[in-house]
Amino acid sequence: MTSGTFISFEGGEGAGKSTQIRRLADRLKADGADVVLTREPGGSEGAEAIRDLLVNGAADRWSPITETLLMYASRRDHVERVIRPALDRGAVVLCDRFADSTRAYQGAGGDAPAALIAALEDHVLGGTIPHLTLVFDLPAEVGLARATARGGEARFESKGLAFHERLRAGYLEIARREPERCAVIDADADLDAVTAAVWDVVAARLGL
C-alpha cells in the first residue's frame, strides 16, 4: 500500500516547471515533509543513461514509437528504484515530467499509437500514477522562445512550432479528460503568480 504523495509537473518547453518544482520542494521541506525531487526522462542511474540517448542528437534520431519504448524503459527503472520506494516510505515525490509527457510528446506531438501508450501505462507503471498532475500551459511560441534563450539540450525543441502546438493541445485534452487528477496552471504569468497558483492547487487538492 502506498502511503506517500505523488505529484507530477507537466507542460511544453519553457513552461517554467523546473523553477516551480524547486520552489514547491523548498516550501514542503520547510514544513517538515520528506520530499523527493526527481525528473524524467532520468531520475535513476539507468534512466539518466537512457536520457542521454533521448535528449541529444538530431530531431529525427528516433521514431515516435522507438522514443516511446525508450521513455518507458527509463520510466520503469525510475519507478522501481526511486519513485516506488519513496512512496512506500511515505515521502512526497515531485516529478518533473512523467507518463503524460509520453502521451503528449510521442502521442499527440508524434504519432505513436494511443493504444500502445495505454498498454505501456498499464503494464509498466503497475499502478504508480500521480495523485496530482500540474499541467503548465502557455502558447507554444512563448515557451519555445524561452527555451531557446535558455539553451542546453535541444532535440525536442528543434521539432518545430506545429509539433509544439499539437503537444499543447494534447496536454489540455489530458487535463479535460482527467479533471480529478489534473489541474491546468497558467504558465504565461509572472513567476510569483505561478508559484502562488501551484500552492493553491496543492493545498486545495492534497491538503499538504
- Enumerate binding residues for ligand TMP (CB under 6 A): 13, 39-41, 55, 71, 97, 101-102, 105-106, 156
The DSSP secondary structure of 107-125, one letter per residue, reads IIIS---HHHHHHHHHHHH
Distance in angstroms (rounded) separating the CA atoms of residues 152 and 149: 9
**CB closer to ligand TMP out of 89 and 133:** 133
Q: Which three cell numbers stand for residue 102?
A: 509520453
Using the minimum distance from each CB to ligand TMP, give the nearer residue, 55 or 116.
55
Beta carbon of residue 133, minimum distance to ligand TMP (angstroms, whole number): 13
Identify which of residues 97 and 166 has a Cβ nearer to ligand TMP in the complex. Answer: 97
Distance CA 39, CA 41 (A): 6
Q: How near is the Cβ of 88 to ligand TMP at its closest, in Å?
A: 22
Task: Kindly state the smallest distance separating residue 159's Cβ from ligand TMP, in Å.
Answer: 9
Q: Residues 6 or more apart from 67 whose CB is under 8 A from it?
A: 54, 105, 106, 110, 112
In whole angstroms, give the CA distance from residue 29 to residue 5.
14
Q: Identify which of residues 34 and 56 has a Cβ nearer to ligand TMP in the complex.
A: 56
Please give the Cα distance from 70 to 58 (Å, whole number): 16
Find the shortest distance in angstroms from Cβ 73 to ligand TMP.
11
Cα dihedral 185, 19, 101, 5 sign: negative
- Compute and round to an integer the Cα radius of gyration of the chain: 16
Kindly state the cell numbers that stand for 103.
502521451
User: Closest CB to ligand TMP among 155 and 205?
Assistant: 155
The residue type of 177 is R
Rounded (5°) CA angle 207-97-79: 85
Q: Which is nearer to ligand TMP, 5 or 121 (CB)?
A: 121
Rounded to a whole number of angstroms, the minimum distance from the CB of residue 174 to ligand TMP is 13
Report, in Å, the least distance between residue 1 CB and ligand TMP. Answer: 27
